[in-house]
Structure 1
Amino acid sequence: MKTNQQNFFWKFLAISQTLVLLYFIFTGFKPDTLNPKFEEITVERINVVEKDGLLKMVISNAERQHPGMIDGKVLFERSRPAGMIFFNEEQDEVGGLIFGGNKEQGSNFALSIDEYKNDQIMQMSHYTNGKGQTSHGIKLWDKDKNFNLPRLLHCLDSLTKLGMSQQKAFVEMEKLNGGPISSVRMFVGKKYNKSTGLFIRDELGNERIRIYVDEKNQPQMEFLDEEGKVLKNLNTEL
């Protein structure tokens, strides 16, 4: 009889605990608990996703920063500064905001926008080098349509497997392409030499027009050839 009473007690206890657990499961997750508010939170990385789990943004420190991806595939492991990285619906990286700095290497801040299936085509940035010189402004790139990022990475992987360095592989790819895969076309801002203005380049990346105020506070408007030689300076003709 005593054994039956003990069995009943343990069954009752188990059922009671189960009911209490179910109660907290179904009543504990109220709107307030689904949308908690924090005065302060300390994390190393936050992944912002859609309801279906699609990654849209990563906010991270340098150590845990996302290396970037295209078509949902990670590009390659690499170190990147702390900041935010953005992704589209096809799980391509489409830009980001990064920052960092120290006494030895200087500081950096950059907000970049990537072309579809390609690398950055526009960037607002600020840089300070180890000598304390600063450069900041907006830069535009051209990307060759024949070498989008997936093809570039495929060729780079193939050439490096043949023993080429990345630098030499890029040179070979540009030879194959018959021209630059990526080139800066324009910079508006302040250079390290203190020249401030508009600097326009040709499709090969050579500066061809400069409209700026130099480090001596003198206005300049220069036209250059492909080798960088000044063909005409309107300031000298005034």
Structure 2
Amino acid sequence: MQHTDKSLQRKVNFLLYYAVISTSIFLVFILSSFVGKDKNLTADEITVKRITVVGEDNLPRMVLSNETRQHSGRMEGKEFPKRERPAGIIFFTNKGDECGGIVAATTAKDGSVNHGMSFTMDNYHDDQVIQLLNDETYENGKAEVSRGLMFNEYPVGSNLNDRMAKTEELKKIADPKEREAKIGELWDKEGAKRRMFIGRNVNADAGVFLYDAKGKPKMKIYVDKAGNPKIEVRDSTGKYKNIIQQ
């Protein structure tokens, strides 16, 4: 009887070892099918909250994400602090620097609804210089809509990281008025300047709107809400003159 018990125990142990080894081999096979260097995953459909595409250097090239997990941005090897960003696609250069994106969002608050979508391209080491935008706001039965193509310009050699660092230092100024004035001076000197807008503005004027190197509006070629064609030039006093004879 004792001999039978030992024989049975050996068989049980053998089956246990066999199960453990077989399971381990199976798991290794499954995992290797996903993590193998030259393996490809093919699927008809996937549902995810975020996809990060990286280069061979493991730096980001593209991030497709919902708003909760969206990439906060990256430049010159520095990750930006976590911040609210819409769902969409963020693009990065082969150096891992953010260089633009496509985002969209709809928000509602206190009876007001804002709906927008934006496709942007960034300046080297700075923020957006080309933007294709649709921006709609509705409140109390009224609409404020702007949609079109915008061109901005930064000073040569501008750097977003440097400007943000300077801004953080200026925020330490105790006097509110002086603090706001200094920050305004910094961004007026080193920030973006609007150069051109092609599209429909909030006044329902559709046309081409031109600005000087300081971002000041200078000329408008458009058709107004009433259907009147106009070419307006802004003089030194800030007044516009329609050069089309009515």
**1:139 — aligned with what?**
150
What one-letter code is carried by the residue in structure 2 that aligns with 1:221?
Answer: I
Query: CA 1:24–1:82 in structure 2 vs 1: closer, same or farther (change >3 Å)?
Result: closer
Q: How does 1:69-80 map to 2 (within 5 A)?
A: 69-80=74-85
Q: Greater shift after overlay, 18-27 or 132-141?
A: 18-27
* 1:168 to partner: Cα distance: 4.4
2:90 paired with 1:85: yes
The one of 202, 221, 226 equivalent to 2:212 is: 202
**2:41 — aligned with what?**
35
For 2:17 and 2:60, how far apart are their aligned partners in 1?
Answer: 41
Q: Greater shift after overlay, 148-157 or 134-143?
A: 148-157
* 1:72 to partner: Cα distance: 2.7
- For normalisation by structure 2, the TM-score amounts to 0.81
* SS across alignment from 2:171: helix
What one-letter code is carried by the residue in structure 2 that aligns with 1:217?
Answer: G
For 2:11 and 2:236, how far apart are their aligned partners in 1?
Answer: 94
* SS across alignment from 2:125: coil
Deviations 1:105-162 (A, max 9, x none): 3211110000111100000011112232321110000101243112112211222244
* 1:20 to partner: Cα distance: 4.8
For 1:91 and 1:164, how far apart are their aligned partners in 2?
Answer: 38
2:133 paired with 1:125: yes
2:25 paired with 1:22: yes
2:19 paired with 1:10: no
For 1:139 and 1:100, how far apart are their aligned partners in 2?
Answer: 19
For 1:72 and 1:180, how far apart are their aligned partners in 2?
Answer: 22
2:53 paired with 1:44: no
- For normalisation by structure 1, the TM-score amounts to 0.83
Q: How does 1:48-67 map to 2 (within 5 A)?
A: 48-67=53-72
Q: How does 1:87-166 map to 2 (within 5 A)?
A: 87-102=92-107, 104-130=112-138, 131-163=142-174
| Unmatched 5+ stretches in structure 2 | none
* SS across alignment from 1:105: strand
* SS across alignment from 2:143: coil
For 1:52 and 1:151, how far apart are their aligned partners in 2?
Answer: 25
Query: CA 1:66–1:219 in structure 2 vs 1: closer, same or farther (change >3 Å)?
Result: same
* 1:6 to partner: Cα distance: 3.1
For 2:52 and 2:182, how far apart are their aligned partners in 1?
Answer: 34
Query: CA 1:5–1:51 in structure 2 vs 1: closer, same or farther (change >3 Å)?
Result: farther
Paired residue total: 231
What one-letter code is carried by the residue in structure 2 that aligns with 1:173?
Answer: L
Q: Are the counterparts in 1 of residues 163 and 190 from structure 2 also a CA contact under 8 Å?
A: no
* 1:201 to partner: Cα distance: 0.1
What one-letter code is carried by the residue in structure 2 that aligns with 1:29?
Answer: S
2:181 paired with 1:173: no
What one-letter code is carried by the residue in structure 2 that aligns with 1:105?
Answer: V
* 1:227 to partner: Cα distance: 4.6
| Unmatched 5+ stretches in structure 1 | none
Q: Percent identity?
A: 29
Q: Are the counterparts in 2 of residues 189 and 196 from structure 1 also a CA contact under 8 Å?
A: yes
Query: CA 1:189–1:56 in structure 2 vs 1: closer, same or farther (change >3 Å)?
Result: same
Deviations 1:73-101 (A, max 9, x none): 22233211111111112221100111112
